[in-house]
Structures are given as structure tokens and as C-alpha cells.
Structure 1
Amino acid sequence: MRVTKQKAGEHRDAILIAASRLFRARGFDKVGVAEVTQAAGLTHGGFYGHFASKEALAAEVCDLSFGNAVRRVQASASLEEYVDYYASVEHRDREGPCPMVALGADVSRLSGPVRAHFSAGVSRYVAAIRAHMPTDDPLAEGRASALVSLLVGSMNLARAVAATDPALSENILAGVRQQARALLRG
């Protein structure tokens, strides 16, 4: 029985969403194609009708994940509001955190296409942060990159120590909120 184009598109989207959630939760290497398709409610056999390889799927997951992250930045009323969201216990404890936190270490071990999509995503994310800054600030590009690095690095540390030292984790998050505000004030 043939699947309609609309249904095929829905299946493809379901695979992308399931893969994004699973990859961000456990990493690219810890999740197989069969697990992704099962999570999407599909059979393994249909996967290759949508994606040439797991690597092709991973590249598209980067696009999807960064698209969602960029939309969150754009929807924020201010960078201070976004920093408060990002450097929060709730964000730290999310199953699938921001793609830079969840996938950054994995990407460094993968091939060119995934790296290229990840790099493009980081660029889009930095640009979204930059768009919240004053246009006449000659240091805004550097501030945007520094803020992203500060947020991502602190979230990695806060997540790493949360289970064994919750107070330290919360201090890291509080400290990054404070330092981010100082960075934004210039």
C-alpha cells in the first residue's frame, strides 16, 4: 500500500522529532536508527526512504534543534529574560537541552556534513543573540559570542555536577546570570 506524500512528510517529521529528542538526551552514538523509528511510531524499514543515512539524519537534527533554539532567543523580550530562562534549574534539568550542550562533544567526533550543519546552527544562534544587542555597539559581535560561550559552558558544568552537588550547580547558574548581565552592560 502506497503512502501519500502528506503521510510520508508526517513520517519524516516524526523521525526528525524523535531523533532530535533522543540525540539530545543521549548523544548521536548512543541511539540507533531502529530506536529512532520505534520512538516515531514507525518501522525501521521505512527510514531509508526518508534519509540516506543516520549521518544525514543527524545533520538535519542539527538544523531542527538550532531552529528551535533560535526561535526561543527571538521570542525573548530581552537578553536578560533569555539568560534567566537559559541559566535556570528547569532548563538544566530538561531531557533534551540546547543542541550546543547536548551535541557539542559528539559533533567534534563526527564527519563533515554534521559538523557543517552544527557550525551553521551555532552561527545562527550567535546572530540571534546579536540581534538583541544595540546596533551601534562595535563590540556586540564579540559580546554575543562570549555570551553564548558563557551560557553553554556553564550549562555543561551545571548539568555535570547537578546530581552529586546540587548547590554547586545552582551556584554556577546564579553566577552565570550575574556575569551575563555584566557582559551585557559592557
Structure 2
Amino acid sequence: MGRVSQAQAQENRRRVVATASRMFREKGTTVSVADLMKAAGLTHGGFYKQFDSKEDLVDEAITHAFDEPGAHSPVRRPVPPTEPEATRQTLIDDYLSVWHRDHAGEGCPVSGFAADLGREPDQATRAHQVYANGVRNLAAQLATADDDGMAQFCTMVGALTLARATRGNPLSEELLQAARTALTQNSTAQPEPQQHTD
């Protein structure tokens, strides 16, 4: 009986962390414990049997989001790893899609947690390194021979954030398209410096 109880407790904790990861990305870490537990289908009092504080849950939720398979690719379309430019283009298209704009809770944790970590730099101290690694990993997926991908990634996150803030206005889609166009043109322009000969 004790094993079943322990297994259930572990499952409840997993469910709370997964729910928090989604809700925090969608609504911010200001989501109340009561609302979070209700969404997870558990009682408010059960939270304190599982976590020392909400800050601990924020850390776990951020770490969970980055550990999810495909955390950096919201639509998760399969692309052969032997085709780096196709992989890069798919990432850009998926990241700057209307679907990703409208599904923050299921989307990239970099854009999903940026505002909260920026406002409360000490709130989720253990997660900061996880977050920084996530930023670097996604930027690396955009890298080309002469570009580390960081500026491209900044363009993507900025465009997505602005598109979410203007959702419902035609400007929202314009922002997504402008970023896709800029990144695609940037890609086609990048090989040019390598064509110079000595």
C-alpha cells in the first residue's frame, strides 16, 4: 500500500510540475497556487506536501520545460539532421508561426519565461543556468559558418513577443512575416563573404 501511495505522490508532483510549466508560459508565474492546483486536478493543500515554496515550483517548471522533447521547436516537424539549412528554416518557420504565437503554454520556454525571469531575477535562481543554456542551444541551431545565431534568435524571440502583444491586430502577422523574411534573406546573404578569393 505504501508503494502505491508513494507512486501516486510522484505522479501528482509530476502533474503539478507539467501543469505549472504550461500555465507559467501562458500566463506568467503570477498564477496562484490555488488556480494551478485546480488545473492539475488536485487540492490546494496538497501543494505543500509536494513543494517547499512556489519559488521551488517555478524552478522545477522552467527546468521541466527545457527538458521536454522538442522544447525549442513548437510544431516539432521531423527534419533530417544532415540538412542543416532545412533544419534552420523549419525552426524559423515553426517559431514564427501563428500556431506558436497562439499557444505560448506549449511553446518555447525561452520566450515563455523571459518576462518573468527579467522581472524577478532572484525568483528562480536554480533555473537561470538552465534558461541561459536553453538560449545558447536554440541560437546554436540557427548558426551558420560565419554567424553564431544569437542575433537571429533575438530577432525571433522579439518578433514572437511583439506578435503576442498585438494579437488581434493585423500588425501581429506582419511582425511574424517581417522576421521570417529578414531571417531568410539573411541566410541567403551569408555565404557571400566566403566567395572571396585571395
- Is the TM value for this pair above 0.5? yes
Contact 1:150 1:176 in 2 (8 A): yes
Q: Residue 176 of structure 2: which of 156, 173, 178 is its match?
A: 173
Contact 2:38 2:44 in 1 (8 A): yes
Alpha-carbon distance between aligned partners in 2 of 1:119 and 1:175, rounded to the nearest angstrom: 31
Matched-pair identity in %: 31
**CA-based RMSD:** 2.5
Q: Give the aligned residue type for 1:148.
A: F
In the alignment, structure 2 segments of 5+ residues that lack a partner are: 80-86, 191-198
- Closer/same/farther in 2, CA of residues 123 and 182 from structure 1, 3 Å limit: farther
Alpha-carbon distance between aligned partners in 2 of 1:173 and 1:100, rounded to the nearest angstrom: 17
Alpha-carbon distance between aligned partners in 1 of 2:69 and 2:174, rounded to the nearest angstrom: 24
- Say whether 1:47 aligns with 2:47: yes
Alpha-carbon distance between aligned partners in 2 of 1:105 and 1:8, rounded to the nearest angstrom: 31
* Larger displacement relative to structure 2 (35-44 or 99-108): 99-108
Contact 1:16 1:57 in 2 (8 A): yes
1:1-186 correspondence runs (5 A): 4-29=5-30, 31-68=31-68, 71-73=71-73, 76-77=78-79, 78-96=87-105, 97-112=107-122, 114-131=124-141, 133=143, 137=145, 139-141=146-148, 144-163=149-168, 165=169, 167-185=170-188, 186=190
Q: Give the aligned residue type for 2:114.
A: G
Shift of 1:86: 0.9
- TM-score computed with the length of structure 2 as normaliser: 0.78
* Larger displacement relative to structure 2 (120-129 or 15-24): 120-129
Contact 2:71 2:108 in 1 (8 A): no
Instruction: Give the number of equivalent residue pairs.
Output: 178
Contact 2:138 2:153 in 1 (8 A): no
Q: Give the aligned residue type for 2:17.
A: L
In the alignment, structure 1 segments of 5+ residues that lack a partner are: none
- Closer/same/farther in 2, CA of residues 99 and 39 from structure 1, 3 Å limit: same
What SS does the aligned partner of 1:4 have? helix
Contact 1:151 1:176 in 2 (8 A): yes
Rg comparison, structure with higher value: 2
Report the equivalent of 2:83: none
Alpha-carbon distance between aligned partners in 2 of 1:10 and 1:115, rounded to the nearest angstrom: 25
- Closer/same/farther in 2, CA of residues 75 and 66 from structure 1, 3 Å limit: farther
Contact 2:16 2:40 in 1 (8 A): yes
Alpha-carbon distance between aligned partners in 2 of 1:113 and 1:183, rounded to the nearest angstrom: 37
Shift of 1:71: 4.1
Q: Give the aligned residue type for 1:80.
A: Q
